[in-house]
Chain A
Amino acid sequence: QKEVEQNSGPLSVPEGAIASLNCTYSDRGSQSFFWYRQYSGKSPELIMSIYSNGDKEDGRFTAQLNKASQYVSLLIRDSQPSDSATYLCAVNDGGSNYKLTFGKGTLLTVNP
Chain B
Amino acid sequence: NAGVMQNPRHLVRRRGQEARLRCSPMKGHSHVYWYRQLPEEGLKFMVYLQKENIIDESGMPKERFSAEFPKEGPSILRIQQVVRGDSAAYFCASSPALAGGYEQYFGPGTRLTVT
Contacts and interface: CB of A to CB of B under 8 A. Distances in A.
Interface of A: 4, 32, 34, 36, 42-46, 49, 51, 88, 90, 92, 96-105
Shortest 8 CB-CB contacts between residues of A and residues of B: A102-B43, A104-B42, A43-B106, A102-B42, A98-B102, A44-B106, A43-B109, A43-B108
Contacts of B102: 32, 92, 97-98, 100
Contacts of B107: 43
A92 B55 CA distance: 16
B45 interface: yes
B35 to A, nearest CB: 8
Given A98-B33, A98-B56, A99-B56, A45 B106 contact: yes
Interface residues of B, number: 26
B108 to A, nearest CB: 5
Contacts of A43: 91, 106-109
A25 to B, nearest CB: 13
B104 interface: yes
Contacts of A102: 35, 42-44
Contact of A42 (B40, B44, B108): B108
Contacts of B91: 43-44
Contacts of B44: 102
